[in-house]
Chains A and B, each alone.
Chain A
Amino acid sequence: MMTPKGMQIRRLDIDAEEPHTLGPGRARTSRPALTVVPSQVVSEMSPESDKPTGHAKPRRSTWRTPSALPGFGPTMGFTLLYLGILVLLPLAALIIKASGGTWAQFWATATAPRALAAYQLSFGAALIAAVVNLVFGVLVAWVLVRYEFPFKRLVDGLVDLPFALPTAVAGIALATLYSPKGWIGQFLDQFGIKAAYTETGVTLALIFIGLPFVVRTVQPVLQDIDPELEEAAASLGAKPWQTFVRVIGPAIMPAALTGFALAFARAVGEYGSVIFIAGNIPMKSEIAPLLIIIKLEQYDYRGAAVIGVVMLAASFLLLLGINLIQRWARTRQGEI
């Protein structure tokens, strides 16, 4: 709908485009003779027929916003191709492979007791590891952002090590540390806690590889929080913990959730670092990715693909859920 003001401007434009409506010698100054505009012209410009009469609107593709930056075609094309080859194609192949047999066969393989135990371990341990990483990742990010201490850059760099280390190396190191004879394992052993070759060991390995995600997603957000917010909370009488829970927490929650989701997704799929510390006892400490490898070694490609599809579906649903929570959080802050 056009505002009355907009209409006024339109009418004056008509005047400018049709100089014959003005007397030849008249100066176009104060009131450019609104009265000489024929009445039908005015009615033409009424909101109902608000179509530009002169030149047609340039045609624009409906699924992109006009932008000054060029290159929509090539970049979008490349993105689709890239994602198609790298992500969609292998996943499609996986699903095709898995759907080789009947539905009953699929269901039987997917819900075999050994498979169920493996899912439970993989998702359960990944979830615990991601929760642990959520808490301690926020803590590490807090320390790195809020305090100055010697060798801060070094500590900051240490956070990324689990990314850089070959996962097998990490797995062997962890297994050595936590085995009953290892540096940490021997103390745990005294309390009757067995870390290596149990579910606990699996969780430990997953915590290790997931550490950087929460730290690296929360850190920049924490850095950007205006100190005035905390001062405002304090001036209103909030104690430090209240400020943290009510002001800082909600502000970093979306970023922390992103880190949580990344850490979780990584942990579900983790293989290298886990198999060395897991002990890999079927029904007890065997993770789903290992089950897939075992099926492959037995040339049961369809069976391996079925387990893969189940994990894919479960991961997708969980990530979708986290995304919805984030979306809800952002809407509440009015960012959308």
Chain B
Amino acid sequence: MTIEIRNIEKRFGKFAAVNDVSLKVERGELVALLGPSGSGKTTLLRVIAGLEFPDAGQVLFDGEDAGDRDVARRRVGFVFQHYALFRHMTVFENVAFGLRVMSRAKRPPENVIAEKVTSLLRLVQLEPMAARYPSQLSGGQRQRIALARALAIEPRVLLLDEPFGALDAKVRKELRRWLRGLHDEMGFTSLFVTHDQEEALELADRVVVMNQGKIEQIGTPQEVYDTPATPFVYEFLGNVNRVACTIVNGRVNLWGSDFAVEVAESGQREGFAYLRPHDIELGGEGARAHAQVRHVSSTGPIARVELAFDGLATPIEAELSRQRLEQLALRPGQQVPVLARSARIFAAGAGV
């Protein structure tokens, strides 16, 4: 099952929640829609599910336009952030719901329903809970039931709206890994929404970064993290330092190192250099710039050093291993040689 969306637009009053977005999800892929709140990622997911109808554009399932089909006829498995379980039904009845509301011609007989629900409960490892009510389950268990319920109708695609958003950190991590395993095992096409970059990078085959109703970048986790296409993606994914600089004939000199701008223009203009904290080398040979150590924090395997440069208002953050920190024996107030190993330059005004 492939999902293709073409030039989708969705407005709420004057606000364009999704603005001319196109995207193709291949069969068997697990894709994350990542963005801050208000970026339109949930609206886009709801448009694909048929819970929201777009003002313009098309949604195609396997190349076939689904525009005139409402959610009940799209056969998508939708998992809600707050589970949306039916409180007055047992876990068993919740999972069986999709089968029981089928038209009489399609509805399987009672023993088949029971068999199927039981096997789904086994799949989500909650078989002993069949007779319980949702209020008697923990958050993680409820989300697994919601998933089992969505899978009962044998959906063609699985859409998950912030599936782990309401869970605590440890459960979230476990469930994430479990979902990835399930996805690989069942081989369905899945699309999930998250605002948690770590979740998107760890779980997805491809990440779609959204901002203000538009797609900023589509790529594998590696691609979007290593080569962000826009300053927004840089700032949104992981820690980054932003340093104002001057671009001269498409080149920038940052702390004695020379960097090229991708789209070179002749002349001089203002720009910003983006550097990841781990791309800053401290105390290395051949460093031509110096900075003052302001603060050192060393919990965990990675140590963080806050650096102050002359003429820079905001401090720069660098990361290095604990061993390296111990070698250098950095103390606040000390001067340290600094080298930029790699950086991306964006001209000012390009969404910066």
Contacts and interface: CB of A to CB of B under 8 A. Distances in A.
A229 interface: yes
B87 A232 contact: no
Contacts of A242: 101
A235 interface: yes
Interface in A287-336: 329, 332-335
Contacts of A234: 51, 70-72
Contacts of B135: 333-335
Contact of A251 (B75, B85, B87): B87
A235 B71 contact: yes
B88 A250 contact: yes
B84 interface: yes
B339 to A, nearest CB: 42
Interface residues of A, number: 22
Contacts of A334: 87, 133-136
A229 B101 contact: no
A50 interface: no
A237 B98 contact: yes
A237 B102 contact: yes
Contacts of A335: 135
B78 A231 contact: yes
B153 A332 contact: no
Interface in A231-253: 231-239, 242, 246-247, 250-251
A224 interface: no
Contact of A235 (B72, B88, B102): B72
Nearest to B74: A235
B80 interface: yes
A11 B106 CA distance: 64
A13 interface: no
Contact of A246 (B80, B97, B149): B97
Contacts of A239: 72, 101
Contact of B82 (A226, A237, A247): A226
B318 interface: no
Contacts of B76: 235
B38 to A, nearest CB: 19
Contact of A232 (B70, B73, B80, B100): B80
Contacts of A231: 51, 71, 78, 80, 84
A17 interface: no
Nearest to B86: A247
A336 to B, nearest CB: 10
A228 interface: yes
B45 to A, nearest CB: 12
A247 B136 CA distance: 19
A68 B172 CA distance: 34
B197 to A, nearest CB: 25
Contact of B84 (A226, A237, A251): A226
B150 interface: yes
A232 B85 CA distance: 8
B117 interface: no
B84 A228 contact: yes
A238 B102 CA distance: 7
B154 to A, nearest CB: 11
A234 B85 CA distance: 13
B49 interface: yes
A238 B72 contact: yes
A239 to B, nearest CB: 7
B82 A246 contact: no
Interface in B101-143: 101-102, 133-136
Contacts of A333: 87-88, 133, 135
Contacts of A226: 82, 84
B133 A332 contact: yes
Interface string A211-239: 00000000000000010110111111111
A237 B150 CA distance: 10
Given A333-B87, A333-B133, A334-B134, A237 B72 contact: yes
Contacts of A332: 88, 133
Interface in B177-212: none
A224 to B, nearest CB: 12
Residue from A226, A234, A329 whose CB has the most chain B CB atoms within 10 Å: A234
A84 B6 CA distance: 71
A234 B153 CA distance: 12
A238 B97 CA distance: 8
A247 B97 CA distance: 10
Nearest to B81: A228
A229 B84 contact: yes
Contacts of A235: 49-51, 71-72, 76-78, 150
Nearest to B46: A231
Contact of B101 (A228, A246, A250, A251): A246
B191 to A, nearest CB: 14
Contacts of B84: 226, 228-229, 231-232
Nearest to A230: B84
Contacts of A251: 87-88
A237 B101 contact: yes
A333 B94 CA distance: 13
Contacts of B149: 232, 236
A250 B90 CA distance: 13
17 contacts: A226-B82, A231-B51, A231-B71, A231-B78, A233-B86, A234-B70, A234-B72, A235-B150, A236-B97, A236-B101, A236-B153, A237-B75, A250-B88, A251-B88, A334-B133, A334-B135, A334-B136
Interface of A: 226, 228-229, 231-239, 242, 246-247, 250-251, 329, 332-335
Interface of B: 49-51, 70-73, 75-78, 80, 82, 84-89, 97-98, 100-102, 133-136, 146, 149-150, 152-153
Across chains A and B, which 4 residue pairs bring their CB atoms closest together, nearest first?
A: A334-B135, A236-B98, A232-B84, A334-B133
Given A228-B84, A232-B149, 18 more contacts: A226-B84, A231-B80, A233-B86, A233-B101, A234-B72, A235-B50, A235-B71, A235-B77, A235-B78, A236-B72, A236-B150, A238-B98, A239-B72, A239-B101, A250-B89, A334-B133, A334-B136, A335-B135
